[in-house]
Amino acid sequence: MDLIKFSEQVKKSIKKLALHDYELFLTVHRTLDTRIENKEITMELNEDIFSGCLRVLKGDKIGYVPFTEPNLSLIELGVTTALVKAPPASFTNFAVISASQEPSPAFDPEVARLIDTPAKIQQLAQDLIRRAYATNRIETIEGTIRTDIESRLLTTLNSTRPAYAERTLFSAYAEVNNKDFDFVAGRKMPQLELIPELGAAVARSLPEKETSPAAEGMKGKTVPVILHPVFTEDMIRRLIAEHLYASTVQEKMSRYSLGAQVMSRLITLWDDATFPFGNTTFPVDDEGTPARKNLIIENGFLKMFLYDRTTALRDKVESTGNGRRRPVLIEDEHEAPVRCTINDIFIAPGQTPLADMIKGIEQGIYIKILLGFHTANRTTGDFANTLYFGRIIRNGELASLPEPGRWSIKGNALSALKTVSVVSAETLSVGSGVLPWIQTELTVG
């Protein structure tokens, strides 16, 4: 589907409604999903997955119209209906998108070609299964290989041209025996020889023994932990970012203050929507503000808060390009309101190899996933969740698996990042950021 042509049709169609301004957001996806369940492979191709939304301004009111069909009559009806009980608007116009705004690369032709060669993806899946079972350590294996092409457009009434880009996505995932997983993810094609090894590498790395907090003498103790980048990214996005948003500050709910030391001096953190092949890479945010890189934390000190257009107007500053349609519950992207939202997350690497970090711990835990972490307290940063994927560190080695359901990990996200003692020299791309491994302390319940 030609989104640029359709956006021009929308503009002509709703002119008769005498709107003061509108903001149109459109996406269309073509996706090939491959699922692995033990030795079975299923593949599903979905084409022209369309979604869109309009924000409209008329008088002092703002209306919101999500839609999943490119139907002009329904869109007109939706605008009319949305304006009947529309709330007051916080601004008088939408952004005017710069005609010179160019996107960073987010489209890889090699990924796009994979969608048209499903036999190649099926072969990757078969090789993954074969190599995993060859280890003779497989009880169950589940996995996915996903390729996606997205066309994305944002425009406003007074923009001379829309912000538009095509983006690709490739991800592969393998989970072995419900005990650990490995993955690759990004908008650029990875080294394909890595994919067949995902399951086998996990199987070979699994310790044979499981252990409990009582057996390790850790019950109720605060111990050193190494946080995997997957967990750190999740913790920052779910808990830490809430205290970085200007919306939270304006509601007097943020635990952070500008210029204060809020994290360990070992932490320098930024977000970036201009990074090539990043998850949020696009010329503008979802409100038309130019994409940018924001240095948020430097050597532990808070340098800035993150703004969308509404919060920026309240403080009489510029938006930082963090207005995103962010689902919180079960919304799809096109249904979600624009909220302050952190873009791709980056933490600068440290000096210590990960292997040395592990060797330096006599008794501790390596944390990859905590079960039910979405239930953590966004206001305080407190959490108490079961260790789902990870390792028990004993005498400088990843010695045992956590016995299922026996390990409760308690802590506070804000405190954990303030007490980071080591940052790894290695980093990992997790799909929505690039982060190192970090060492801090948490409590075993």
Q: How far apart are CA 39 and CA 235, in angstroms?
A: 34
- Residues in the chain, total: 445
Nearest to 189 by CA among 175, 173, 168, 174: 168
Q: Give the number of other Cβ atoms within 10 Å of residue 140's Cβ.
A: 11
Rg (CA), the chain: 24
pLDDT in the model for residue 83: 94
Which residue type occupies 12?
Answer: K
Q: Name the residue among 181, 176, 320 with its Cα closest to residue 245.
A: 320
Q: What is the pLDDT of residue 16?
A: 87
The reported pLDDT for the residue numbered 316 is 97
- Output the pLDDT for position 226: 98
* Domain ranges within the chain, ordered by starting residue: 3-199, 209-445
Please, which residues bridge with residue 371 across strands? 386
Task: Name the E strands within 100-234.
Answer: 141-156, 163-176, 180-186, 210-211, 222-227
Q: Which CATH architecture has domain 3-199?
A: 2-Layer Sandwich (3.30)
**Token pair listed for 177:** 């025996």
pTM: 0.96
- Output the pLDDT for position 389: 98
pLDDT given for residue 294 in this prediction = 98
- Cα(231)–Cα(225) distance, integer angstroms: 12
24 vs 427: CA distance, rounded Å? 37
The per-residue pLDDT string of the chain (445 residues; one tens digit each, 9 = 90 and over) reads 999 999 999 999 988 899 999 999 999 999 999 999 999 999 999 999 999 999 999 999 999 999 999 999 999 999 999 999 899 999 999 999 987 777 789 999 999 999 999 999 999 999 999 999 999 999 999 999 999 999 999 999 999 999 999 999 999 999 999 999 999 999 999 999 999 999 999 999 999 999 999 999 999 999 999 999 999 999 999 999 999 999 999 999 999 999 999 999 999 999 999 999 999 999 999 999 999 999 999 999 999 999 999 999 999 999 999 999 999 878 899 999 999 999 999 999 999 999 999 999 999 999 999 999 999 999 999 999 999 999 999 999 999 999 999 999 999 999 999 999 999 999 999 999 999 999 999 999 9
DSSP secondary structure, 28-72, as one string: EEEEEEEEEETTEEEEEEEEEEEEEEEEEEETTEEEEEEESS--H
Residue 103 has what pLDDT? 76
Q: Which of 289, 333, 326, 285 is nearest to 28 (CA)?
A: 333
Burial class of residue 12 (count of CB atoms within 10 Å of its CB; 0-12, 13-18, 19+): exposed
Task: Report how far apart the first and last C-alpha atoms of the chain are (Å, whole number).
Answer: 53
